[in-house]
Amino acid sequence: MVARISPVMLTQAQRYQIIRKYAMKHILEIKDLQELARRRVPKMFYEYANSGSWTETTYRANEEDFKKIKLRQRVAVDMTNRSLESTMLGQTVAMPVAVAPTGLTGMQHGDGEMLAAKACEEFGIPFTLSTMSICSIEDVASVTTKPFWFQLYVMKDREFIGNLIDRANNAGCSALVLTLDLQILAQRHADHRNDLSAPPKLGLWNLLDMASRPRWCLSMLKTRRREFRNIVGHVKGVDDMSSLAQWTADQFDPKLSWDDIEWIRKRFDGPLILKGILDTQDAIMAAKTGADAIIVSNHGGRQLDGAPSSIEVLPEIVEAVGDKIEIHFDGGIRSGQDVLKALCLGAKGTYIGRPMLYGLGAMGQKGVTLALEIIAKELDMTMALCGEREVVNLDRTNLYHGHKTGR
C-alpha cells in the first residue's frame, strides 16, 4: 500500500523543494526566467535591465533581426559525439558564450555578481565583472577559484583607473574588457521614471514594491553589499554615487580616445578586448591598437538608439577585420539558436547580458546556471539538426543560402 502524504505533513523546506521542482520543470526557455524575474525583482531594477535607450528601436532590433536569419537543415548525418567546446582568446570554454558585464547586478539579487561568477565558473565559461558592479573585484575573487574577466569604464580620474587596473591584475583577472561606447550615458526613460539608485531610495512606492518581493528582500538583508563597491571608498571625494545618471555624467571621460588604449593595454597583464564596436572604420582602428579582440556590440540597445542591430553589422565587420583580430559578439541573444547564428556569421565567441540577469533575478545562482543550460541545450540541438557535430566547425554554410539573400 502506498502511504499518502498530505501537504500539511511536509516541512516548509520540503514544500519549497516541491515548488522549486515544479517551477524548474516549467522553465524551458529564457522567456520563462524573464517572467519569473519580472515578478521577483523590484520594478526599478527589473526595468533597468529590461529596457533600451529612447524609443528602444535598436534594443528591439537586436532580438528581431536574429529571427530573419534562417538555418540550413541537413539530414542523414551522424549526430553522435557532439561538442560545444571552443576557445575565446585561447582560453578553453565549455561553449563559446561568456557573461557580459552588467552594472548593478547585485541589485537583481543579493550578492548577484558573486553568484553569477560562481555559476559561470562551474559551467566553464568566462564571467565579466562590470566596473559598475555592486560586488567588488575582491568580493568576486574571494568566492571563485579560476580567473574571471574585468570590464573597464574610463573615468576622468586616471589615477583611480590605473588603480582599478592594478586591482584587476592583483585579483588575477585574465582579460580586460574596455568599453568604448559609453563616454556619455544615453537616456533610458525607465530609469528616470523609476528614479533609479543603488541602494534604492526608501520612498513609499519603493517600500511597497520591495515589500511585495520577499525573496529579493531576504537576499538583500543577507548581504552588506548594496553600493558600488569597486568605487565607493576608492575614489577621493566620492561618498555618494547612488544616482547613477548623475555620477556617470560627472565622472565618465567624454575625451576618451584611441590614444588612451595604449597605456591601458600596457598597464594590464593579460589580453585586452575592445567592446562597443559597431562600425567597420572603428573596427579597423581597433585592430590597429594591438588589442586582442573586439566585441561587436551596441551595448544591448542602451546607447545610440537608431543604430543597427549588432547581428546586422557583424558580417561586414568580419569581412573588414576578421583576419586581423578575434571577433566577439553581443546583443539580443535569447537562445542557443541566436548563439549559433552569430557563430555562423563569423563570431569566435558571444556574450549574454539580459539572459543572465533574468536567471539571477528569477532564482539566484541556480537561475544563472539554468539560463546557461537552456542556451547550451538549444545550441547543441540546433547544431545537430544543422548536421554539425562540433561548434568550432559552424560557418555561413550552415545558414540557408549562406544568409546572402537581401544583402
Ligand X SMILES: Cc1cc2nc3c(=O)[nH]c(=O)nc-3n(C[C@H](O)[C@H](O)[C@H](O)COP(=O)(O)O)c2cc1C
Residues in contact with ligand X by the rule CB under 6 A: 48-49, 62, 100-103, 130, 132, 151, 179, 275, 297, 299-300, 302, 330-333, 352-354
Query: Does the CA dihedral 26-27-31-36 come out positive or negative?
Result: positive
Q: Say whether 91 sits in a helix, a strand or coil.
A: strand
Which of 187/405 has CB closer to ligand X? 187
- Decide: 328 and 293 in contact? Cβ < 8 Å: yes
The minimum distance between CB 61 and ligand X, in angstroms, equals 11
Distances (CA, A) of 104 to 136, 243, 349, 358, 377: 11, 12, 24, 13, 28
CA proximity to 356, closest of 131, 175, 98: 98
The minimum distance between CB 355 and ligand X, in angstroms, equals 6
Q: Exposed, middle or buried: residue 155 (CB in 10 Å: 0-12, 13-18, 19+)? A: buried
- Decide: 358 and 367 in contact? Cβ < 8 Å: yes
299 among known catalytic residues? yes
Which of 117/132 has CB closer to ligand X? 132
The minimum distance between CB 195 and ligand X, in angstroms, equals 16
Which of 27/274 has CB closer to ligand X? 274
Q: Give, for 258, the enclosing helix (H) or strand (E).
A: helix 258-267
The minimum distance between CB 237 and ligand X, in angstroms, equals 22
Distance of alpha carbon 38 from alpha carbon 85, whole angstroms? 32
The minimum distance between CB 148 and ligand X, in angstroms, equals 14
CA atoms within 13 Å, Cβ hemisphere of 360: 29
Residue sitting closest to ligand X (CB): 353
Write down the catalytic residue from 26, 192, 234, 299: 299
- Decide: 168 and 146 in contact? Cβ < 8 Å: no
The minimum distance between CB 166 and ligand X, in angstroms, equals 20
The minimum distance between CB 59 and ligand X, in angstroms, equals 8
- Decide: 70 and 403 in contact? Cβ < 8 Å: yes
CA atoms within 13 Å, Cβ hemisphere of 387: 12
Distance of alpha carbon 232 from alpha carbon 238, whole angstroms? 7
Give the list of residues 6+ apart from residue 327 with CB closer than 8 angstroms, or none: 293, 294, 296, 314, 317, 318, 321, 346, 347, 348
* Amino acid identity, position 225: R
- Decide: 181 and 302 in contact? Cβ < 8 Å: no
- Decide: 188 and 103 in contact? Cβ < 8 Å: no
Distances (CA, A) of 23 to 28, 32, 33, 42, 208: 10, 10, 10, 20, 26
Which of 95/388 has CB closer to ligand X? 95
Distance of alpha carbon 173 from alpha carbon 180, whole angstroms? 19
The minimum distance between CB 7 and ligand X, in angstroms, equals 38
Positions annotated as catalytic residues are 299
